[in-house]
Structure 1
Amino acid sequence: MAVAGARPRVPWASRAEESRGRLVAEPEYPSRSTFRRDADRIIHSSAFRRLAHKTQVFVYHEGDHYRTRLTHTLEVVQVARSIARALGLDEDLAETVALAHDLGHPPFAHAGERVLNACMADYGGFDHNAQSLRVVTRLENRYPAFDGLNLVWESHEGIVKHNGPLAVAPAGLLPHAIATHAARQDLWLWSWPSAEAQVAAIADDIAYNVHDMDDGLRAGLFGLDELAGLPLIGAIIAEIRAQWPDIGEPRMIHEIGRRLITVLIEDVVTETGRRTGEAGVGSADDVRRAGRALVGFSPEVAQAEKAIKGFLFPHMYRHPRVARVMEDAGEVVRDLFRRYMADTEALPAEWRATVAGRTEEARARRIADFIAGQTDRYALAEHARLFDSTPELR
């Protein structure tokens, strides 16, 4: 039976049987494609499990129903698979990139990343996207034959550049983990990624716009009347109120998100079909060489999506309540980094052994690895162990 919304595989889709392969050769299995195995490896990784206790916007103890980094990732996967299915792409590769896209996020969301990047300024900086590559190529140590997860080329490529080419950056400004890995594996940093990776990237935008809006409404950071002036959302609110005049706010909030996701996905599918037809792509490498993103929103919807982001930035991410908590959370990360750098004896024994005898830069990188892998609650527990006073983050 055909799956609703699915279409035959398009010529420009990635194909597991044509994969450029793994850094360490492994036997293949007839029951699962290489892309499916990569997705499964990520799901079973320690780094993936830890996302359950990492902040999306609200710290874990602020409420049980707010998104975590894990639930956000699962929502990105759902959107990515829906788009990939409708376009005739490889759903497993789109899922793999979506599953991996936030593996490198440190505790406390973007506040933790900004502080860790500042702490690492003299040592090559810190970037969560590059750290995701480091996680899957070096830090997950589960297999006897190799470090990392030994994913296929297409998965590594999607993790590194799902947001676009990187080789346009001035020499020496590539994130440390990516520059280091480039010496082992050529990921075509100059090119656009596969269509599946581009799908994962736009699915991330769709998921966090819609679901951060949902969390912000439920947290009382802003109200429906403030959203009603936004393009797309205003029309959706009017439609719902006309159809269901007595609808309660909780159901209204859910219905707005449900309808908005549908509009955004359908627009991406239509616009991507237009762009790929115009570009005349006939293979996955044609997508890489196209010179621009082929997966995207139409100009009208892109403007509306930009307006939604423009609303969420001051009303949610910079809301005084959120900003206050994130400022304190950033101090926790800064305190931990400085303490570990000044006194490696403060590190747990297994991490202390990994920094012994290393240069200052290498020591800083391993400490960044340790902090980036911490969950919110572990970071707070470490801070309480090492310092007399720890913020409550409320």
Structure 2
Amino acid sequence: MTKKAKYGSVKVVDRSGKLYLDFRFNGHRFRPALDLVNNLQNHRHALALASRIELDIFANEFDRTLIKYLGDKKTEGTIGEARDKQLIGMYAYWQGLKELQGNDYEGVYRFIKRAAPNWNNLQAAVSAQNWSTTTHNRYCKILNTFIQWANTQIDKDVKELKLVKGTKQKDPKRKPFTLDEMQAICSQFKAFYVYAQGSHSQCENYYYLVLFLFATGCRMGEIVGLKAKHFNLANGTVEISESLSPKSAYDSARIQKSTKTGSVRVLPLPDFLLEIFSRILAGKKPDEYVFLGPQGEPVNQKNFTRRIWPVVLNGLGIEYRVPYAGRHTVASMAIEQGIPLTGIAYLMGHSDTTMVMKQYGHMINRPNLPDIDLTA
């Protein structure tokens, strides 16, 4: 059964005197440049091209590569040249053709849309991204599958596209923090000011959030999703059962849902946290969020990670690691203090010890070298 096309108008947009088209199709936004200056004749041509695309969308004959429409604005040139200019259109076509869904495929689409690379500088654009090693290699695998397909679609006289390279470098972003680094970060956040609602003001909730992160090792979504009802001050515990997380890795909308593994764990609060939360939870209703941003909304972990956290670390001269490294810090310290693997798995919210062994196996039961006296 043929999928019903999504209806929508195609707009002609002027940007710095140049004409562009702007429209959406099946959840993807297209903004191809027409390489035309904005004059009466070219504007009429662009409107005609927009009408043609609208008709094709209505008739389920839309060409996602946009090559069919690029030919209207430029008669000379090869299909390879048109393909070079519309990498994002070709990727969207491939994704729809193969019915590929998921956060990683959308992530690659967002990368192409944001970085706007062409085929010649795609490797450089990939290398310039601040991805983790795991994300880098996953994205490169998707890009290379796409490139291999694209090579089957081009003319024989067009130079074959090159695959992008992954990385085997160790990811420094999750290197545990030292105790001195954690203390310095907490002190800096205690005095941190943010600009909101027309003035600078102190945002203590960032300080409380970082304290909770370094003390418990919870995931960021679990922390910002905490509500007053999750705290049992009488018993000195906090229940980690929900998470406030984006719908996808590239979606700004957030939803309250279960934890990543669906687990529910109850953690004891250290005395200093119990004192803090006894004060800040006073007067809060059970369903009110605990960690609020400067404008009174739950802290946005993406904004915090990208705009707030790096400022503090750079100001202190501390090697950059993502906030998630705080989670690895707690797990590493737990191992060094001899807490059993089953206990660490529970604290981290894992269903068993498999993930603990995979991430921290090199730290567990490290043997000493045999006692060999070579001085005799």
Relative contact order, CA 8 A, sep 6+: which one is greater?
A: 1
More helix by share: 1
More strand by share: 2
Q: TM-score, normalised by structure 2?
A: 0.22
Q: TM-score, normalised by structure 1?
A: 0.21
Larger radius of gyration: 2
